[in-house]
Amino acid sequence: MHRFHTSLLAIFILAFSINAQPNTQWIQTCGGIESDFCFDGQQTTDGGFITVGQTASFGNGSADVYLVKVDANGDTVWTKTFGGFSYESGTGIIQTTDGGYIIIGDTFSFGPGDCDIYLIKTDENGNEEWSEAYGGTGRDAGNDVIQTSDNGYILVAETWSYGPGEESIFIIRTDSNGITQWERTFGGSNCDEGFSIRQTSDDGFVIAGCTNSFSMSSSFYDMYLIKTDAFGIEQWSRTYGGSGSDVGHDVMQTPDGGYIITGATNSSGAGMYDVCLLRTDADGNPTWTQTYGGTSAEEGHSVDLTSDNGFIVTGYSLSYSPPGVYLLKTDASGSEEWHKMFACGYSSVGYAVDQTNNEGYFIAGWTNTLGAGIADFLMICLEPEQQYISVVLNPHNPPIQIPAAGGSFTYDIEIANNDSITYIVDIRNDITLPSGAIYQVFNRQGINLVPGSVIQRDSIAQNVPGYALAGDYVYNAYIYDHNTIELLAEDHFPFEKLPGSSDSHTVSNWILTGWDKLPDEYLNKFTDFTINEFTLNGAYPNPFNPTTTISFSLPVASLVKLDVFDINGRNVGAGFAEGTLYKGKPAPTQGAWHPPGTHQITFDGSNLSSGIYIYRLTAEEYTASGKMVLLK
């Protein structure tokens, strides 16, 4: 009889980014004195977590499926084992709509072949309700399972019993009782493997894995993505890779209908293997690819979409000392925001990552240095990411509706520095008009935010003039790094200007009151913002045909807008001053945020007639104009 062991641990964590990283809430190991490997896990509806894998410490055979349920604090609620006299393993799990669980894996105890696909359904307490084995006379192993929209299941596996090649991708569709509805195989004449499957928004399925049948070289694998309809009929497939080996371990559909895949590559990147993150459109065409890691080996095993439209990836890394579980956070474009190392041993792996209900993260995997045995289940729960600089708007009496004659609303604002360093920031309030244009109402620059400081203003009043168009507006607050113009924090709330007519406008302009003078400790040399050193350097060449470059200089960061008028006063080129071309077509009357320094805008008069034109640049409250001549 083996003694069950579970412990909460303090672990050495290596952090590598200056961005706000989440703190570790708890770390748990689970297992006996032998080898126990965790391969999947997720948060459950009660706020706890479920993990599945394989145990050699407990159960009937040489290894059994091992199911571990913990509560929100990482304390074990119950454990279960499943299997026969031989060898079983659990490779995937999801919580089902009835509160129970469906487990995918493989079995040497049941089924017709040497190894067969193993599907187990349990109730919410982990008690087996039914199990099925699928496969032929060869070797078949299950890798992933999901519950479908009709409460049945679809699983992806690798098969040596069926299919055109030595090893083929195998999917099986079952009803809610595990009875097979249909089966499909995919691949070519060599070896092809499927590791992840998801149901797509059109009720079809997408599979990620790797292929040796359709790779660039018969000596290597390429990442493989297959899209099917609701009946498993292939609609398209794509391969991705280079001169080395590339593998896709996990896939998810993104909100735009495309896909995000994580895995590993040694075709590109800095090391022997690197974590690969690949974004595609709805047809599987790559939109971007990113690699992450050091000079040794990294691999991504699981990816999840995050609430900020970015991605979280877990796997392992051997490049950093000490090696262990690797956690990576990116933005929506795949640019790394931060990563963390959990020093759990040379062979430790994170196999599953899940963003939790409170926007923290949960990692499931295994470790060979922590816990009681040769290898143990590893569960890591992280707190939500800390926002170092925060801004919170609290509107009074929402929803806010402004009468046709004009009116006002009030709100509170709180700006906080939760970091250990001082920030110099710019505070800006503006309003997004129904047309999409931006109207700035407040701009205070060079504010010192020392560690732990909080700026709070209550009952700030914002007037809305009667001449403002009816429609939906958004009130915005932005905090920028004063030196880099990086956006550090933002918040927003909506308000509405009601339609109608009025003989008198009770409010005539956009007046903001309540931002009184800040205490001296917050003041910096740019606090009292002026832009009287704005310089309009002119247009060159002048005369021009058909383009000319308008240059201007700013002493401080400013909102800048370009307008071009003909001699009749008609606006023939208005819009963002972003250095882009203006083609003689009116654009939204908006501005672009520019840092201090000299900037250039190219105006294109291809669509205009020869003549005299007046260009006007507006920076905050300052305006400068010049004359230019178009000669064709």
Q: Rounded to the nearest 5°, which phi and psi values hold at 19?
A: -70, 165
Look at the pTM and tell me if it is higher than 0.85: no
Q: Quick one: how far is CA 229 from the chain centroid?
A: 27
* Identity of the residue numbered 11: I
- pLDDT for the residue numbered 606: 85
Which residue did the predictor score with more confidence, 516 or 295?
Answer: 295
- pLDDT for the residue numbered 556: 64
Mean residue pLDDT of the chain comes to 85
User: pLDDT tens, 532-543?
Assistant: 456 778 888 988
Is residue 64's pLDDT more than 80?
Answer: yes
Which residue did the predictor score with more confidence, 555 or 366?
Answer: 366
Which residue did the predictor score with more confidence, 556 or 174?
Answer: 174
Helices (runs of H) and strands (runs of E) counted in the chain: 0, 47
Kindly list the structural domains of the chain, giving each domain's residue range(s) and its CATH number in brackets, ordered by start.
389-522 (2.60.40.3880), 535-630 (2.60.40.2550)
Helix (H, G, I), strand (E, B) or coil at 79: strand
Which residue did the predictor score with more confidence, 440 or 188?
Answer: 188
CB atoms within 10 A of CB 199: 16
- pLDDT for the residue numbered 586: 33
Q: What is the arithmetic mean of pLDDT over 50-75? A: 95
Q: What is the arithmetic mean of pLDDT over 620-628? A: 72
Contacts 24+ apart (CB under 8 A), 471-475: 471/433, 471/434, 471/496, 471/497, 472/434, 472/496, 473/431, 473/432, 473/433, 473/434, 473/497, 474/431, 474/432, 475/393, 475/395, 475/411, 475/429, 475/431
What letter does residue 73 receive in the DSSP assignment? T
Helix (H, G, I), strand (E, B) or coil at 521: helix
